[in-house]
């Protein structure tokens, strides 16, 4: 009986151990990124609306630079223009797989980092309340020198 219990305990340990997610290091996000895809959906009053957009979206690109000092710059750029049409300075923190962006007014939003490696950053947000739910996922590619366009 003890042998059976021991074997069941070992089997349960193997089943319970999922493949470890790669550890996300803060330094991995530092750099310049260009959004390549925006995907999401919204459900309101039982009706679902979905989008899956590859950039540039309607002639517009979005870039973000995460600096090692915890600041970030998001820039929106029309593809046929030489200057950005808008930008926003933020601060950022990364704890585990939670990326938190905060604006100058102190408003912040938290995203789940789904993937982060040398070439790709994917983060998402999911929110649910009675009668309404949404999910947004943004995919970025690492680039160099976007300010020098």
Q: Which residues pair with 138 in a beta bridge?
A: 38, 123
Positions in the chain short of pLDDT 70: 1-22, 56-57, 81-84, 146-149
pLDDT of residue 77: 76
- Kindly report, residue by residue over 93-119, the tens digit of the pLDDT: 999 999 999 999 999 999 999 999 999
Residue 57, token pair as written in the block? 């979206």
pLDDT of residue 20: 53
Question: Taking a C-beta distance cutoff of 8 angstroms, is the pair 142, 32 a contact?
Answer: yes
User: Which residue in 99, 37, 107 sits closest to 66, CA to CA?
Assistant: 99
Q: Distance (Å, rounded) from C-alpha 17 to C-alpha 43?
A: 34
Put residue 70 in one of left, alpha, beta given phi > 0 → left and psi -120 to 50 → alpha.
left
Question: 107: Cβ–Cβ under 8 A, 6 or more apart, which residues?
Answer: none
Domain range annotation of the chain: 30-148
Specify the pTM.
0.78
Domain 30-148 sits in CATH 2.40.128.280: yes
pLDDT of residue 24: 84
Q: Distance (Å, rounded) from C-alpha 84 to C-alpha 113?
A: 26
Residue with tokens 């003890």: 2
User: Which residue in 110, 108, 131 sits closest to 42, CA to CA?
Assistant: 131
């Amino acid at each position: 009986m003890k042998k059976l219990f021991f074997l069941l305990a070992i089997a349960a340990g193997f089943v319970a151990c999922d493949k470890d997610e790669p550890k996300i290091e803060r330094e991995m996000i530092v750099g310049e990124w260009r959004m390549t895809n925006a995907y999401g959906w919204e459900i309101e009053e039982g009706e679902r609306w979905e989008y899956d957009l590859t950039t540039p979206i309607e002639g517009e690109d979005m870039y973000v630079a995460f600096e090692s000092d915890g600041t970030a710059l998001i820039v929106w750029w029309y593809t046929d223009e030489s200057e950005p049409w808008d930008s926003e300075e933020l601060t950022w923190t990364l704890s585990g797989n939670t990326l938190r962006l905060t604006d100058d007014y102190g408003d912040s939003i938290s995203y789940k980092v789904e993937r982060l490696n040398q070439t790709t950053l994917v983060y998402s947000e999911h929110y649910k309340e009675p009668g309404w739910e949404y999910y947004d996922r943004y995919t970025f590619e690492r680039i160099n020198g976007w300010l020098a366009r």
